[in-house]
Amino acid sequence: MGGGAGVAGAVETGVRGERWADADGIAEAGRARGWDDGPLSRTSRVLDGVRAYRMITAMWIRSTMAYRVSFAMTTLGNFVATGLDFLAIVLMFSQIDRLGGYSLPEIAFLYGLSSIAFGIADLVVGSMDRLGSRVRDGTLDTLLVRPVPVLAQVAADRFALRRLGRITQGLLVFGYSLTALDDVHWTALKVLLLPVMLISGGAIFCAVFVAGGAFQFVARDASEVQNAFTYGGATLLQYPPGLFAQDLVRGVTFVVPLAFVNWLPALYVLGRPYPLGLPEWVAFLSPLVALGCCALAGLAWRAGLLSYRSTGS
């Protein structure tokens, strides 16, 4: 689309870059930039990354809004496509009263939390799954020569507002669940836990996206592996943990801790027993788990970028 090409050109000229004579020099300069600086310099790089992310996403948003009908149609299509998942659940409940011991409003509660958290991450850093193609065709080198954090550039690349369709659909299902959960005894702590779940869950999914992108530095055709943990993880969390094998539940609790997105805190809200005999206080660990996941994802990204070797093209 002409608008996309215009944005790509604007990003290319809008962010001032340096030039190296050879491709290996590009990679080396990109890897070496700032790794050994002090805390103040690291903070400055983070702020620079946030500013660059805002600038690039603003360019893509302006490009998108130049074609308002196209934006409306693609957002509606995203809304309908993601809504079909919940429609399938509703049709299932036309034949059964419970799924894994859970009622439709309880399933909707899990579904809404998972969809919103994943939708936020997909909107913010969903472009990470295209990193492998950039590594293969050598276009990652053009990002390395800019005095802007590569992570911010990759995350903001082709920022897609149409992904708001998934978030909107998740919010509607979540709203329905809150009005239909008659058996939940609401307390101030449970109410406070709702936004904490959404923010922490979004951060955990963001970390999974970034870690998956880092893996693509090594395995350049690994976007589907990443999707198994992101899109697949979001689908998994839409259903109660009792439907799945204990080993799988252990994996998404202790290895890739997606259970902290909604399963564990939501079970506290719903008054349901915890899987694996976990104590009740694990419901409140989501923010700490999110911070840990983001830190590990950052280390993985740094290691992946350090291992990058230019294609020379």
> Residue written as tokens 């050109």?
9
Query: Other CB atoms closer than 10 Å to residue 144's CB: what's the count?
Result: 23
Residue count of the chain, please give it. 313
pLDDT digit string (tens) for 85-100? Answer: 999 999 999 999 999 8
SS3 sequence, 126-192? HHHHHHHHHHHHCCHHHHHCCCCCHHHHHHHCCCCHHHHHHHHHHHHHHHHHHHHCCCCCCCHHHHH
Mean pLDDT for the chain overall: 85
C-alpha–C-alpha distance, residues 229 and 127, integer Å = 15
pLDDT confidence band for 172 (50 / 70 / 90)? very high
Instruction: Give the pTM.
Output: 0.84
User: For residue 169, is pLDDT > 60?
Assistant: yes
Residue of 17 and 121 predicted with greater confidence = 121
Assigned domain for 269 exists: yes
Assigned domain for 207 exists: yes
pLDDT confidence band for 27 (50 / 70 / 90)? very low
Assigned domain for 251 exists: yes
% of the chain beyond a pLDDT of 70: 85
- Number of structural domains (the chain) is 1
**Confidence at residue 12, expressed as pLDDT on a 0 to 100 scale:** 46
**Confidence at residue 15, expressed as pLDDT on a 0 to 100 scale:** 44
C-alpha–C-alpha distance, residues 64 and 69, integer Å = 10
User: For residue 189, is pLDDT > 50?
Assistant: yes
Residue 133: how many CA atoms within 13 Å on its side-chain side?
A: 8
Assigned domain for 184 exists: yes
Q: What are the φ/ψ torsions at residue 182 (nearest 5 degrees)?
A: -80, -25
Pick from 307, 112, 263, 288: nearest CA to 207: 288
Assigned domain for 312 exists: no
**Confidence at residue 39, expressed as pLDDT on a 0 to 100 scale:** 58
Assigned domain for 144 exists: yes
pLDDT digit string (tens) for 240-279? Answer: 999 999 999 999 999 999 999 999 999 999 999 998 889 9
Assigned domain for 313 exists: no
- Measured CA distances, 284 to 202, 262, 270 (Å): 16, 11, 14
Range of the domain at 279: 2-307
Assigned domain for 148 exists: yes
User: For residue 74, is pLDDT > 80?
Assistant: yes
Bridge partners of residue 56, in order along the sequence: none
**Confidence at residue 241, expressed as pLDDT on a 0 to 100 scale:** 93
